[in-house]
Amino acid sequence: MNVRLKFSIWLAVLFAGVVAVVAATAVIVAAGLPADEYKLLLRIIAEREQVLGFVAVLLFAVCAGVLGWLFRNYVTAVRSLAEQTRIVFAANPEHRVQARGGSELVDLAATINRLAEAYHRLGADLETRIGMANARLEEERNRLAALMSELAEGVLLCNVEGRILLYNEKAKALFGAAAPGARQGLVGLGRSVFALLDRDQVAHALDKLQSGLDQGAELPASRFITNAAGGALLKVQMAPFLSADGRIAGMVLTLEDVTELMDREAQRRSLLQAFAAGVRAPVASLRAAAENLVSFPEMDDARRLQFNEIVAAESRQVSTLINEALSEYADALKAGLALEDMRAADLLSVARRRIESVVGLPCSLEPAPDAIWVKVDSFALVEAMAYLAGRLREDYGVRSIGLRAAQSGRFAELDLVWSGAIVGSEALALWETEPMQIGTQQTPLTLKDVLERHGGEVWVQAHKTSHTAWFRLLLPLGVPAAATTRRSPAPDSRPEYYDFDLFRYADTAPGLAERKLSDLHYTVFDTETTGLEPSAGDEIISLGAVRIVNARLLKREVFEQLVNPQRPVSRASTRIHGIEAAALAGQPTIGEVLPQFHHFCEETVLVAHNAAFDMRFLELKEAATGIRFAQPVLDTLLLSVIVHPSQESHNLEAVAERLGISVIGRHTALGDALVTGEVFLRLLPLLAEHGILTLGQALDASRETYHARLKY
């Protein structure tokens, strides 16, 4: 209950009790008086009404004073003592309580401080023991960090929902430096890998990994080529790590920029084509001349005839050898970086899931021999098969299809089979040249592009008796991988990394309001401005922010930007933040900065101290920039009021001092954001002691505080 309300209730009860006692005493005394004396008493009371009223007011003042003294020295002092004690045991063990009440409370405060000293010594001893126990773990962590920093490839470690748990500088450079002026914070802990890589390609690779695990592969891997910002080509290799039940718990992605390598492949292809064009003509002429000599010999000599036959035979053999070499080299080129060996059965299994989920067409699958392997860009080929299935459904009303595979010499035959509709070769020829569209997704690739990339062919066949038809995809065979058996993991085994608590958190968790405060990701931010009246035209001149992920303040993942306000900065404001107008000249405007900041803080809860002030500046820019910050907002000022309602001050310095946080860089946007982030983390256990565990509970409690009524 609010202290003021409690004081008012107690004062009313005390005054009513005193008045009741006086009135009861007067009634008892009057009841024993004779009639003439009773009348005299009533006349005296009537004549002394003003004096009695003054006595009542005086009595009320005495009651208020006595009760106020009791509240100040005991009730409020006890509440303050309890709040300070919670700070010692939940946020700042070095804090010592101070009693403002009676001598009894002073003695109690001294006892609490002695307990706090003992608690602090015990905690320090425990921390020493933990530090010694974690020394080896820290050494291993440093080794991992050093190894990651030295790797030539970029590395991303993600959980199964695609949240980034670890990355190295090379990965950040591959995505961040590829395009000048790219948005800040693309790579960061807790961010989604799907903002960097195509979701369908990653999902397809995960399907392949799971399929490999289901087949008993010990170390399955998947590879694909994707585009990064700025047009760079990245070769991505993905490997899984498993949970205790053998399912995929996350993935390790290694990234390599292969743009130059692909350019060299294109150059070699051009050289090969030029070689073929230059060699075929003279060889064909030699063959034709030799055959003419055989057909019209000018010499009757049997030896000459034999010689001519040898020339013709050798010419034919040279031509055959060149064609075979050209075919093999063309296959090698087409089966380059983006192609990998894969079982035909696994490919059709992935294609079946894709067709059913995206095209919405029931799909049966005939068992394929394990010996059939193909060398494919599985993502592109599955998209091509889904495209053909979609055209059958849309153009010919086909209601279901089947998939099967067979081997024919050096090639694999993959069939899409249906019943009823007759599809002409001219329709297939038209489909080959049109950009592929699968469901609502469209790609600039054509079916012909995919087939040429694989060195394959497609045609339509029909069986009149059974009224069935099929598209046959003819693809070069791949090289079967060596058979492996998966070892059962030892009990309690896990990858030899240090623990990543983010593995526990999934995007499928309940709504934000029900999520625990310790489970959420936050962006703590602060602004510096031209003045204190956003509604009167004051503008932001500096914006700073830092991210909190897994209850850790990520001091390397920050946002800091000066902003040109396009208006003068008041001297009073400059004296506070020290930012001169000259420093703002040439800086981007708020319209350029807000989209970058919006991207930096997406999918997080915003945190600020006195957030109503900062949010008002952002809200006033919605109409001009089209940028709206719709995520929940927590205010450390209001949270401090919740856990310390009896403390006099809740400004940032006072709260930080209570919680044992050093204030560095005060009145700079990033400096204040960092301090606010530390304050927020120290407030979390104090909120938990008040039963505030979820975001919804924190927001509801914040709304009930008096300070929440502040408007700007």
| Contact in structure between 561 and 542 (CB atoms under 8 Å) | yes
Which residues 6+ apart lie within 8 Å of 360 measured at CB?
Answer: 393, 439
pLDDT category at 708 given cuts 50, 70, 90 is: low
Angstrom distance (rounded) from CA 264 to CA 337: 12
Q: Which DSSP category does 416 fall into?
A: E
* Cα–Cα distance list, 420 to 362, 391, 431 (Å): 15, 15, 20
Query: What would the pLDDT profile of 435-473 be if each residue is shown by its tens digit?
Result: 888 877 777 778 998 898 888 999 999 888 888 999 999
Phi, psi of 185 (to 5 degrees): 75, 25
Angstrom distance (rounded) from CA 471 to CA 388: 9
Angstrom distance (rounded) from CA 155 to CA 465: 56
Mean pLDDT of 679-694: 93
What are the structure tokens assigned to 64, written together?
């208020």
90-99, 228-237, 244-253, 558-567 — most confident range: 558-567
Judged against a pLDDT cut of 50, whether residue 428 lies above it is answered with: yes
What are the structure tokens assigned to 703, written together?
């709304």
- Label residue 24 exposed, middle or buried (CB < 10 Å: 0-12, 13-18, 19+): exposed
pLDDT category at 523 given cuts 50, 70, 90 is: very high
Judged against a pLDDT cut of 90, whether residue 594 lies above it is answered with: yes
| Contact in structure between 486 and 217 (CB atoms under 8 Å) | yes
Q: How many CA atoms lie within 13 A of 206 on its CB side?
A: 20
Which residues 6+ apart lie within 8 Å of 390 measured at CB?
Answer: 359, 361, 437, 438, 439
| Contact in structure between 547 and 604 (CB atoms under 8 Å) | yes
CA dihedral sign, ordered 495, 498, 501, 505: negative
Mean confidence (pLDDT) of the chain = 80
What are the structure tokens assigned to 3, written together?
């202290």
Greater confidence, 629 or 327? 629
| Size (the chain), residues | 712
Angstrom distance (rounded) from CA 544 to CA 527: 7
Judged against a pLDDT cut of 70, whether residue 661 lies above it is answered with: yes
**Percent of the chain scoring above 90 in pLDDT:** 24
Query: How much is the pLDDT for 488?
Result: 43
Which residues 6+ apart lie within 8 Å of 43 measured at CB?
Answer: none
What are the structure tokens assigned to 407, written together?
């081997």
Mean pLDDT of 308-325: 67
Q: Which DSSP category does 499 fall into?
A: -
Q: What is the 3-state secondary structure (H, E, C) of 447-459?
A: HHHHHHHHCCEEE
> Which residue has tokens 């060195």?
455
Judged against a pLDDT cut of 70, whether residue 385 lies above it is answered with: yes
Greater confidence, 574 or 267? 574
pLDDT category at 268 given cuts 50, 70, 90 is: low
pLDDT category at 526 given cuts 50, 70, 90 is: very high
Judged against a pLDDT cut of 90, whether residue 645 lies above it is answered with: no
| Contact in structure between 673 and 573 (CB atoms under 8 Å) | no
Q: What is the 3-state secondary structure (H, E, C) of 212-225?
A: HHHCCCCCCCEEEE
Residue type, 461: Q
What are the structure tokens assigned to 118, written together?
């003992």
Question: Residue 561: in which H helix or E strand, if any?
Answer: strand 552-562
Angstrom distance (rounded) from CA 176 to CA 228: 9
For the full predicted model, state whether its pTM sits above 0.85: no
Radius of gyration of the chain (CA): 40
Angstrom distance (rounded) from CA 75 to CA 645: 13
Angstrom distance (rounded) from CA 423 to CA 155: 47
What are the structure tokens assigned to 442, written together?
């469209």
Annotate 628-640 with DSSP letters as a single string. Answer: ---S-EEEHHHHH
Query: How much is the pLDDT for 484?
Result: 45
3-state secondary structure of 592: helix
Angstrom distance (rounded) from CA 418 to CA 387: 15
Which residues 6+ apart lie within 8 Å of 400 measured at CB?
Answer: 361, 362, 363, 364, 418, 419
Judged against a pLDDT cut of 80, whether residue 328 lies above it is answered with: no
Angstrom distance (rounded) from CA 647 to CA 91: 16
Mean pLDDT of 304-310: 66
